[in-house]
Structure 1
Amino acid sequence: MTLQKKSYPLQTLVGIGVLLIGLGLAAGALTIPSAAGYGGVGPNFLPWLISLSLLVCSGFIIWESRSGGFRAMDEPVGGPAPYWLGFAWMSAGLLTNAALITTIGFIFSCTLCFVLAVQGLKGAEGATRRGPAVWLKDALIGMAIAAPVFWMFTQFLAINLPGLTSTGWL
């Protein structure tokens, strides 16, 4: 009796998608100058490393899908359908951050992003209490995360991030 290997076309498409992303990143890396900088590596080193890694991974994914599929996959867990309202909250947070970062500065736009994303995550967990006190607490936590990141980049690493004022502290 011979074992017949089954092919999984959707899993193969995932591998082809990873392959195309790797090829796209490699094409982009071709346009980056290769002049060595600090430490002997140029600015195109990381894109090349990632593209080669994606190409190798895509080869393994395609081989696995063509030789019997992802055999060690766990059964899916969770709800029967995605939580779209949480997705909408998180998307709103990211899009609001992108739209307002140059207007209200890094700290406040990232804080707003955090507050909106947390609302989506709490909703996905089934949390029903989302009054003003919860929003205020989330805003304070978001600011406690965003402010030190902003200060680290602007004050210690001298990397310009959009601020609300020109002082570099807000």
Structure 2
Amino acid sequence: MNNDSSSSPNRHRAGQLAMGIGALIVAAVLAVGAMAIPSDAGYAGVGPDFLPWVVSAALAVCGVMLIREVLTGGYRQMEEPSGAARGARRALAWVSAGVLLNAALITTIGFILSCSLCFALAVRGLRASEGKPIGDVRQTVKDALIGVAISAPVYWLFTKLLAVNLPGITGSGWI
């Protein structure tokens, strides 16, 4: 009889199991949050709590399926991970700076500019993670303009079409 755990069809990989359990925990947290949202029916009989419940349920199903996969032999179709053996700390610093500055500045400089800054810093971090040059001033300005081209339509969609209040720079609602 072979006692090698790597040959056992029911081997449990702690990280894989943690992913499934983590998905279930996040689904439960989302469900608790969805309970706090009023369920008054709005357009087409759907209330504001509908989407959080859908996301919570979908995430719970994914968590159960992940756990089932682990308990029946692990992620059998999973390929070996690509990339470096260690994380790119410099890249993480750039992406983290973008997200944190976005959160800190969104009410000060507005949605469009803060999201553009986040995009430019995140792209710089992603380049660093691939070992590419992060870019000079010209590349940074180009990335920021691409960020504006992405965030401006999102801002207008939310503020003008969906009537969701996002922080802007001016009182006009267009910037």
Structure 2 length as normaliser, TM-score?
0.85
C-alpha separation between the residues in 2 aligned to 1:111 and 1:150? 12
Structure 2: runs of 5 or more not aligned:
2-6
C-alpha separation between the residues in 1 aligned to 2:25 and 2:123? 33
Cα pair distance change 1:125/1:50, threshold 3 Å: same
C-alpha separation between the residues in 2 aligned to 1:83 and 1:40? 47
Q: How far is 1:130 from its partner?
A: 2.0
Cα pair distance change 1:48/1:154, threshold 3 Å: closer
| Structure 1 position 21 matched with structure 2 position 29 | no
Write the letter of the residue equivalent to 2:12.
Y
Corresponding residue for 1:106?
111
Corresponding residue for 1:161?
166
SS at match of 2:92: helix
Cα pair distance change 1:152/1:62, threshold 3 Å: closer
Corresponding residue for 1:97?
102
Contact 2:125–2:134 (CA under 8 A) maintained in structure 1: no
C-alpha separation between the residues in 1 aligned to 2:162 and 2:63? 36
Number of residue-to-residue matches in the alignment? 170
C-alpha separation between the residues in 2 aligned to 1:145 and 1:4? 49
Write the letter of the residue equivalent to 1:5.
P
Corresponding residue for 1:37?
42
Deviations 1:30-55 (A, max 9, x none): 23222222111222222222222222
Q: Residue 93 of structure 2 is aligned with which of 63, 88, 92? A: 88
- Which stretch shifts more, 126-135 or 63-72? 126-135
Q: How far is 1:63 from its partner?
A: 1.7
Q: Residue 63 of structure 1 is aligned with which of 58, 62, 68? A: 68
Q: Residue 7 of structure 1 is aligned with which of 11, 34, 40? A: 11
Cα pair distance change 1:30/1:151, threshold 3 Å: closer
Corresponding residue for 1:150?
155
SS at match of 2:147: helix
Q: How far is 1:88 from its partner?
A: 1.0
Corresponding residue for 2:4?
none
Q: How far is 1:151 from its partner?
A: 2.9
- Which stretch shifts more, 93-102 or 103-112? 103-112
Q: Residue 125 of structure 1 is aligned with which of 116, 126, 130? A: 130
Q: How far is 1:143 from its partner?
A: 1.8
C-alpha separation between the residues in 1 aligned to 2:161 and 2:57? 33
Corresponding residue for 1:78?
83
Contact 2:127–2:134 (CA under 8 A) maintained in structure 1: no
Structure 1 length as normaliser, TM-score?
0.87
Q: How far is 1:28 from its partner?
A: 2.4
